[in-house]
Structure 1
Amino acid sequence: MTGHAFTVLENTWISLRDGTRLAARIWLPDTQDRLPAVLEYLPYRKRGGTHARDESTYPVFAAAGIVGVRVDIRGSGESDGVIDGEYTPRELSDAGEVIAWIARQPWSNGSVGMMGISWGGFNCLQVAALRPPALRAVISIASTVDRYNDDIHYKNGCHLSAQLGWAATMLAYQSRAPDPALVGARWRAMWLERLEAEPFFLEEWLTHQRRDGFWKHGSICEDFGAVQVPALLIAGWADGYRNTPFKAALGLGDRAKSVVGPWIHKYPHFAWPKPRWDFHGEAIAWWKQWLCKEPTGVDARPQMRAYILDGPRPALRREQDPGFWVAKTVWTEPELASFGISADGRLSAAALGQGVGKVHHRSPLATGTASGEWFTLKPDAEMAGDQRGDDAGSLVFETAPLSTAQTFLGQPRLTLDLSSDGEGANLIVRVVDVHPDGAATRVSLGAMNLTHRAGNETPVPLPRGATVRATLELDACGYRFAPGHRIRLALSTSYWPTVLPAPTDPGVTMDTATLTLAMPLLGAHERIDMPEPANPDPLPRYNARSPSETRRSVERDLTTGVTRYTIYEDSGLSEHPDHGLATRDVREEVWSITEGDPLSMSGACRWECIARREDWAVRTVTTANLACSATHWLSAGSVTAFEGDTPIFSKRYEKRIPRDLM
């Protein structure tokens, strides 16, 4: 790394109008020049949380003459107060004050950028929509423009299991103590204040099962015109957050540039599967263009750059996915290739309006155990695995082996007529690449609670036995089906544990003559090269005091019909060499369901978070549980905190929340 020398300000206080102080870590170039700054604003702790990825990026920015400002939001890390939810008006208002504070600093040129992945990718778009004067550009990675349909909560009215998992994660994260080395003797009072007042997010999310004002807040798709600054949108095919680059390109128009790679839920300069991308080089050019008015050429980049997956095989770990990069100068709604069902049951472009008549289907409730995680942090079993087992519990149609390659980019769409003997049911749709030896790679996923077939704001029960039409938009894909491969369409009424079951399980009767799968053609494009990072291993390494461990398993009791899906994650104990803080997080998650009984579904999460130095040790144990009846969601949680080995705080959460038409 060459360029500016810089100083790291480990903890700087930013005072808000109401007296709250937010904690910032700042990478400040050693120069008398006025400089642009980039803000990343998160609840994940700048010390003992995101420090590794921060230390992979902000020194590079500082060397290029860009100030990095990493801020813990209110109630997290070393910042004062208590968090009040996800992307709340107060969080976004605080961000506006932070941006104004940055612009007033003597080292600032008055121009601020904002970036982040996941939470930080969400809130930089949301803050941009509020138009703080000093904010000139954003980079949003693994984010959403629609908080209801493209996040971990709901998908077309289907309840996602990731909602419990994420509520458990945030309960654990927000229960962690501030660092006494930074806040001094008041650390304990701050910690107790948080423990007493932190919300259990799941309770609020469960009270908003429809796409109401709660979800519209912060969804910039409600008014794309509110975002007036340039936005670089980045996503990965191995992650659940893959639709934003496409939706934002259409909604923001020439203000948006989009990049989609093969990656999991990580920054692209250290993500898997490879190939990685030189995110630092692109980001620096982006900031220089929009924060310094230096012509770097990013404004002339193609609007859409995407990595086309070329038949990756399902594997225990996907280190590198085959494929190639393409560019489209302007992203528009793609031309569609339509497939129907032939009279002999084939998926075929020549079979529209034929079909094999009406087919009734009801999947085993445990169909879906190869579905992986909604947002993936490792390229192993968190990614969707071989779909053959799940497809066995699904209604499946597939093409004959392809004679020529077919390549797609965008969001597929399925339309069909169906009926049910119940008032509600879920329908899950997958597009799958079937390799010549039968291995099955999931390409795209869609889900709908059929009471939401006319929209997510006002669900309508299915009229028992009557035929209705449903249209599902699936997640975006960039994929080449090679000659000799087959395109499979898999339809199921379960995809557990990713999608939680409807309260009844009547099955669905589908009219195959009306079924149309519309696949988005790649169309005119240019093949391009995308630079990979100069440093193939950019994350700093800390002192490992105990090893990490990951386990994931499925257990089926063939006598009782119970299926258990179990996850165990231990980060290991890691000590930072500069300040000596050692942290360890252990997560255990168990999902259970009994065949034939959708109301048997349950999820249980437990986290243990440890932080310590030689003369100081704290620990929290948090739990989050979800079960259901036909009429209610049953949520429960707990927090227990320890100083040393002494318990100093305990709290329980418990609620029965009426269940909507789902």
Structure 2
Amino acid sequence: MNLRHGMTAAVAGALIVVGNLAVGGAAEAATPSSAPAPAGVTHEQNPRVPEGSVWTEAYFPSSDHSGVQLHADVLRPADRPARAKTPVILAVGPYFGHAGQTGPEGFDRTGPSARFADFTSGTDLFARGYTYVTVDLRGFGGSTGCLDWVGPGEQADVKAAIQWSASQSWSTGKVGMYGKSYDASTGLVGNDLRQPALKAVVAQEPVWNMYDYLFSNGVPRPNVTGTPNAYNGIATMAAMPDDSARYQANAAYEATHPECLAANLTNNNEPDPDSAYWRSRNLAAKAAGTNTPLFVTQGFIENNTKPEDIELYLDNHRGVERGWLGQWEHVRGNETNGQGQLLQGRAGFFDEVMRFYDHYLKGIRPQVKDPAYAIEDSTGAWRAQATWPAATSELSATLPDGQYVDDGAASTLAAKAAPGDQQWDTEHAADPAPPAARSLAASTTNSYLSWSKPVTSRVRLTATPGITLKAGATGNVMVRLWDVAPDGTAVMFDENVALIEKKGRVAFDLKSTDWTFEVGHQLGVQIGTIGSGSWRDTPSGNTIAVTGAKLALSRQDPRTDVPTQGDRSPFLDTYLRQYTRVLTGVGPGTFSLGRS
């Protein structure tokens, strides 16, 4: 879509709403530029409106000429004239409905979503002279259309939202995107769309490739139908009684378009990652050559939006990058627990985010030099790097041959079998925790293990490990990596699975990692059946012989680390308790991790 045409169409189609009173765009144009503040609803009039802001609503068409109408909540600084131009921070997603984010939240009146109230208040966003806009993706909140799991339709919505935000009379034309989880993924979409108005993206714990959330290399995850069902539930959430007639009608769109919900369930059950459906949702591949300044966070031991295809996305991205990467769960950069501990362990997230936005949306060069990447490794230590990953050497380890029975028998690390229809969304999902620690034998009928030689100096495995092997039969395969101490105590720190559709060569990536081995530790590689827990496998019952297995690893020398501020993230100890076992029968090792 031509940029100029998109802006013109967006402005022509806009409808400004003040409270429940619809006012045409011409009325706003008639407001004198010397007006003390924008027209709209203030915090004093409605406590759901953030302090220091004025709330209005707007509607505009998506950019794909589908007839979809998008709804936006607009929060302008209350202390600025109506026509004062400001940069725009934009969030686009499914969680901005007036009744609640993922379900009704018991409000007694309508109002803008409080999803990122911590961000707007924690940064003094309005006092700093920014406008904050949230846009409902098609099918959610006050927008029409069929929900689309970050597909071409929702990508058109993101494009329209960026163009609309940049084209308003009160906008400087410079837009930054902000989000976590689903609305972090829409930020990645914004970058992929190469929109000139988009100057910066902050994406916390996104999904880097939408396929990875529902499948792993042809194997469905247990939420493969539950997640689409969860979003169908969000899409059909009723509006508030005092919402405008237009908002209420849009919120009820699915009542007259039941095909939306049916298609969302059917489409997301495609197991082939190379299908047209999933290629259009491969955000990492679509990032090739993009250059929007990007600030990301990612937990390496995330139990929700896992670190899959992050390396591909960052490799494909060519612009400025910032990142906080470490050992935490699905949390925001500023989030704390009941004891006041920062859940990502590092202080100053909002300060750094605003230096980032001020730089790229206002041209204010920061007085503080932040590291491009701040990374917490598996020991809880933080370091600064110019990029990630920053491997100092590569290794291809040849693994011994072996075999296993693909019977789906639960391994000692598998969680209790999860319901097949777990209804989780990307904001609240979490793989079930495994059972209490038990021993694991080096050789069973369901899997076999091989070992590296003990390391003689500290070695860090970073980036994305990859496995290739020859399978003698069809079925499923799981690969897990263990950090094994001299006493046999071991932590499983990486894993992935794949469907073996035909016997022969199988190749797939594990999750990205950043794990440091202490002197005397060994790498254990487990190959076997999937078992229950994080995947919904269909055991073949075959005995699968594995030959010619090679493990590709990226190593980094910890001696080159440049320390930076940050404390041990609290979840690291939780993870270690959950995923530590005692391995029996550990051998002397058949390959060397060498010096990093």
Taking structure 2 as the reference length, what is the TM-score of the superposition?
A: 0.71
Determine helix, strand or coil for the equivalent of 2:534: coil
Instruction: State the 1:506 CA deviation.
Output: 0.8
Q: How does 1:177-196 map to 2 (within 5 A)?
A: 177-183=238-244, 187=248, 190-191=251-252, 193-194=254-255, 196=257
Query: Are positions 1:49 and 2:101 aligned together?
Result: yes
Determine helix, strand or coil for the equivalent of 1:516: strand
Name the CA distance, whole Å, in 1 between partners of 2:416 and 2:347. 26
Query: Are positions 1:152 and 2:216 aligned together?
Result: no
Query: Who is 1:131 aligned against?
Result: 194
Query: Which range moved further: 190-199 or 275-284?
Result: 190-199
Q: 1:213 to 1:155 in 2, by over 3 A?
A: same
Q: 1:330 to 1:510 in 2, by over 3 A?
A: closer
Query: Who is 1:279 aligned against?
Result: 349
Read off the aligned partner of 1:522 and give its amino acid letter: Q
Query: Who is 2:393 aligned against?
Result: 335
Q: 1:68 to 1:188 in 2, by over 3 A?
A: closer
Read off the aligned partner of 2:297 and give its amino acid letter: I
Q: 1:122 to 1:398 in 2, by over 3 A?
A: same
The partner residue of 1:112 within 157, 161, 175 is 175
Q: 1:495 to 1:30 in 2, by over 3 A?
A: farther
Query: Which range moved further: 138-147 or 488-497?
Result: 138-147
- Report Cα offsets for 1:10-48 as digits up to 9, x if no partner: 451233274825031525352345221111111123442
Name the CA distance, whole Å, in 1 between partners of 2:567 and 2:86. 27
Query: Are positions 1:450 and 2:515 aligned together?
Result: no
The partner residue of 1:204 within 245, 264, 267 is 267
Instruction: State the 1:268 CA deviation.
Output: 1.9
Determine helix, strand or coil for the equivalent of 1:162: coil
Q: 1:96 to 1:29 in 2, by over 3 A?
A: farther
Q: 1:159 to 1:364 in 2, by over 3 A?
A: closer
Query: Who is 1:13 aligned against?
Result: 58
Name the CA distance, whole Å, in 1 between partners of 2:78 and 2:556. 44
Query: Are positions 1:365 and 2:409 aligned together?
Result: yes
Instruction: State the 1:531 CA deviation.
Output: 5.8
Query: Are positions 1:292 and 2:337 aligned together?
Result: no
Q: 1:52 to 1:222 in 2, by over 3 A?
A: same
- Report Cα offsets for 1:190-210 as digits up to 9, x if no partner: 437447524142311224534
Name the CA distance, whole Å, in 2 between partners of 1:109 and 1:426. 54
Q: 1:74 to 1:532 in 2, by over 3 A?
A: farther
Name the CA distance, whole Å, in 2 between partners of 1:67 and 1:227. 25
Q: Which ranges in structure 2 are unaligned for 5 or more consecutive residues?
A: 1-49, 103-112, 337-341, 419-423, 571-596
Query: Are positions 1:418 and 2:471 aligned together?
Result: yes
> % of aligned pairs identical?
19
Query: Who is 2:506 aligned against?
Result: 470
Q: 1:99 to 1:6 in 2, by over 3 A?
A: farther
The partner residue of 2:79 within 27, 30, 52 is 30
Instruction: State the 1:127 CA deviation.
Output: 2.7
Q: How does 1:248-327 map to 2 (within 5 A)?
A: 248-270=313-335, 273-296=343-366, 302-310=371-379, 322-327=380-385
Q: 1:90 to 1:278 in 2, by over 3 A?
A: same
Q: How does 1:528-539 map to 2 (within 5 A)?
A: 528-530=563-565
Query: Are positions 1:431 and 2:502 aligned together?
Result: no
Contact 1:158 1:500 in 2 (8 A): yes
Determine helix, strand or coil for the equivalent of 1:417: strand
- Report Cα offsets for 1:540-599 as digits up to 9, x if no partner: xxxxxxxxxxxxxxxxxxxxxxxxxxxxxxxxxxxxxxxxxxxxxxxxxxxxxxxxxxxx
Q: 1:401 to 1:221 in 2, by over 3 A?
A: closer
- Report Cα offsets for 1:325-380 as digits up to 9, x if no partner: 34245745652244445xxxxxxxxxxxxx4x543443543335339999987899
Query: Which range moved further: 156-165 or 254-263?
Result: 254-263
Instruction: State the 1:157 CA deviation.
Output: 1.7
Instruction: State the 1:227 CA deviation.
Output: 2.4
Q: 1:247 to 1:222 in 2, by over 3 A?
A: closer
Name the CA distance, whole Å, in 2 between partners of 1:375 and 1:439. 35
Query: Are positions 1:67 and 2:136 aligned together?
Result: no
Instruction: State the 1:120 CA deviation.
Output: 1.5
- Report Cα offsets for 1:165-202 as digits up to 9, x if no partner: 31221122222111223335973784374475241423
Q: Which structure shows the higher strand fraction? A: 1
- Report Cα offsets for 1:405-430 as digits up to 9, x if no partner: 3222111122333312xxx2111111
Contact 2:476 2:529 in 1 (8 A): yes
Read off the aligned partner of 1:58 and give its amino acid letter: T
- Report Cα offsets for 1:78-98 as digits up to 9, x if no partner: x13243321233322232222
Name the CA distance, whole Å, in 2 between partners of 1:269 and 1:522. 29
Determine helix, strand or coil for the equivalent of 2:353: helix
Instruction: State the 1:440 CA deviation.
Output: 3.7
Name the CA distance, whole Å, in 2 between partners of 1:532 and 1:10. 38
Read off the aligned partner of 1:267 and give its amino acid letter: R
- Report Cα offsets for 1:82-128 as digits up to 9, x if no partner: 43321233322232222222223333211001122222222222233
Q: 1:400 to 1:128 in 2, by over 3 A?
A: closer
Contact 2:477 2:497 in 1 (8 A): yes
Q: How does 1:504-515 map to 2 (within 5 A)?
A: 504-511=540-547, 514-515=548-549
Name the CA distance, whole Å, in 1 between partners of 2:222 and 2:440. 17
Contact 2:55 2:74 in 1 (8 A): yes
Read off the aligned partner of 2:466 and give its amino acid letter: R
| Root mean square deviation of aligned Cα | 3.6
Determine helix, strand or coil for the equivalent of 1:163: coil
Name the CA distance, whole Å, in 1 between partners of 2:58 and 2:426. 33
Instruction: State the 1:476 CA deviation.
Output: 0.8
Query: Who is 1:163 aligned against?
Result: 224
Name the CA distance, whole Å, in 1 between partners of 2:241 and 2:217. 45
Query: Are positions 1:408 and 2:461 aligned together?
Result: yes
Contact 1:147 1:216 in 2 (8 A): no
Name the CA distance, whole Å, in 2 between partners of 1:387 and 1:97. 50
Q: How many residues align?
A: 483
Contact 2:415 2:432 in 1 (8 A): no
Q: 1:526 to 1:188 in 2, by over 3 A?
A: same
Contact 2:165 2:171 in 1 (8 A): yes
